[in-house]
Amino acid sequence: MFMAKEDKKQDQATQVAIGEAVGTVAAQSIGEPGTQMILRTFHYAGIESTIATSGLPRIVELVDAKKKPTTPLTYTYLNDNIKNNFEKATDMTKRINEVYLADVAKRVVESFSKGTITIVLNRQEVEANDLTAKQIASKIEKAFNLDTTVEDRRITVNVHTKDLRKIRSTTTKLYESVVSGVEGAGKAVIRQDKKTQEFYVVSAGSALEPIMELEGVDKSRIYSNDIFAMYRVFGVEAARNSLIKELKQTLQEEQGISISDRHLMLLADAMTMSGMIKSVGRHGLSGEKNSVFARAAYEETVKHLINAAAFGETDPMKGVTENILVGKQIPLGTGAVRLTVKKEDLAKLKPKKSKD
Amino acid sequence: MAVKREHELVPAHEIMSENEVKKLMQEMGVQTYNLPKILVTDPQAVKLGAKTGQILKIHRKDGENEYPYYRYVVED
């Protein structure tokens, strides 16, 4: 492979020596600028209705491998032929935007004597979401398997029973039923990329699978800040990459802290080492170390020592922590190399005569 | 769920042949189980039809450069 002379020099200069404590360096490189991070989040006025968690809380969330982020967001990009079309993009936003019956209903009246529930729709809301009473009625019919009759903006649902409790529970379920959009997608907003001028949809949920089934969605670019959603749909490697992407975005773009990518890559690699996403800390990486002493030195000392004693664990003494603990040389840097002498060579050695 | 088109965040995965694995293990001086892992149920492993015990070679990209990464397929 061709490489310019200067590039080669640079390449050699950035290579890591054997025995270098890369993990410690990475931890300090992330930790030190972390102390300067601003806890305060910026508030944008206007269209940006969804404010994502940022700063230190977000970093903690990522490193702790939280199953559900506080503010899950999904970025849906469109196929090349429609990505610059505002109307098509708006249409996509409407198809994703999750609307509950409670959002479009003005009031819901139950009739216990007839066994029906009448939904009076709010005309403005219905029109704003590009819906018709008929569409809503058919959605309800499908979801609840009940008969409905539509009359202007009134939908009458026949519950086929006069049991008070059943009618009431159906009403509550009706309120929460999704009449339009993708279930679990949340509120969707249209946005325009400043650089490429293309339109994309941001929704406040992490339901990737149903969105990917929609026509016109670019499946190769859909992205969620929910690492576990990415893991579920695309696998560990995608999870690793989005973890790096999220960390980098939080640190560099929002806080103006620049950390070498290598450190973040090491962190993400360590977290996805087992094929799953493990948190850094007691319940994840640190809690699953091989050495009893290393675990005991971190947290819950007594628990680990008692368990080790009860199950007869052995400690291979190969790590750093346990060797510091017992006062041995640590296997890092010059301590990582051992000296061995061949037996034949040993025989050749002649003892020196001492002078005194 | 199977993904039809490649995602920009997913590097190419590939199942390694036994000979390749043998050679690699000799080169690196490690055992297969020492490598980072990937679950058999992982979408990418399912897509390739990988079995437990095999090794997946992942063609990761780092800017312009490409470098290999290896993952050992393990039971869920």
Domain map (residue ranges) of chain A: 34-72+225-278, 74-96+185-224, 99-180, 289-336
Confidence at residue A47, expressed as pLDDT on a 0 to 100 scale: 47
In chain A, % of residues over pLDDT 90 = 16
Rounded to an integer, what distance in angstroms lies between the CA atom of residue A104 and that of residue A121?
6
Q: How far is CA A203 from CA A65, A229, A231, in A?
A: 21, 14, 19
* Residue of A237, A263, A266 to mutate, interface with B, max B Cβ within 10 Å: A237
pLDDT in tens, B3-40: 445 788 899 899 999 999 999 999 888 888 889 999 99
| pLDDT (average), residues A127-145 | 80
In chain B, % of residues over pLDDT 70 = 93
Alpha helices in chain B (DSSP H): 18-28, 43-48
Q: Which of A42-46, A123-127, A133-137, A192-196 has the lowest mean pLDDT?
A: A42-46
Q: Which of residues 8-37 of B touch A (CB under 8 A)?
A: 8-11, 13, 36-37
Whether B42 is in a domain gets the answer yes
Enumerate the residues of chain A whose CB falls inside 8 A of the CB of residue B7.
219-222, 234, 238
DSSP class per residue in A184-240: T---EEEEE-TTT--EEEEESS--HHHHHTSTTB-TTT-EES-HHHHHHHH-HHHHH
pLDDT in tens, B48-64: 998 999 999 999 888 77
pLDDT in tens, A235-282: 999 999 999 999 988 888 767 788 888 899 999 999 999 999 999 888
A128 CB neighbour count, 10 Å cutoff = 13
User: Domain of B42: which CATH number?
Assistant: 3.90.940.20
Whether B2 is in a domain gets the answer no
| pLDDT (average), residues A312-317 | 89
If one compares A237 and A145, the residue with the highest pLDDT of the two is A237
pLDDT in tens, A169-216: 888 888 888 888 888 888 888 888 888 888 888 888 888 888 888 888
If one compares A147 and B3, the residue with the highest pLDDT of the two is A147
| pLDDT (average), residues A276-297 | 87
If one compares A162 and A2, the residue with the highest pLDDT of the two is A162
Average pLDDT, chain A: 83
pLDDT in tens, A45-81: 544 555 677 778 888 889 998 888 888 888 888 888 8
B44 and A236 within 8 Å at the Cβ level: the answer is yes
| pLDDT (average), residues A270-296 | 88
B38 and A275 within 8 Å at the Cβ level: the answer is yes
The answer to whether A99-180 and A289-336 have equal CATH topology is no
Beta strands in chain B (DSSP E): 12-15, 37-39, 55-62, 65-74
| CATH, range A289-336 | 1.10.150.390
Query: 3-state SS string over A316-342?
Result: CCCCHHHHHHHCCCCCCHHHHCCCCCC
Look at the domain A99-180 and name its fold: Gyrase A; domain 2 (3.30.1360)
Whether B7 is in a domain gets the answer no
* Domain covering A34-72+225-278: architecture: Orthogonal Bundle (1.10)
Whether B61 is in a domain gets the answer yes
pLDDT in tens, A76-121: 888 888 888 888 888 888 888 888 888 888 888 888 888 788 888 8
Confidence at residue A206, expressed as pLDDT on a 0 to 100 scale: 83
Number of domains composing chain B = 1
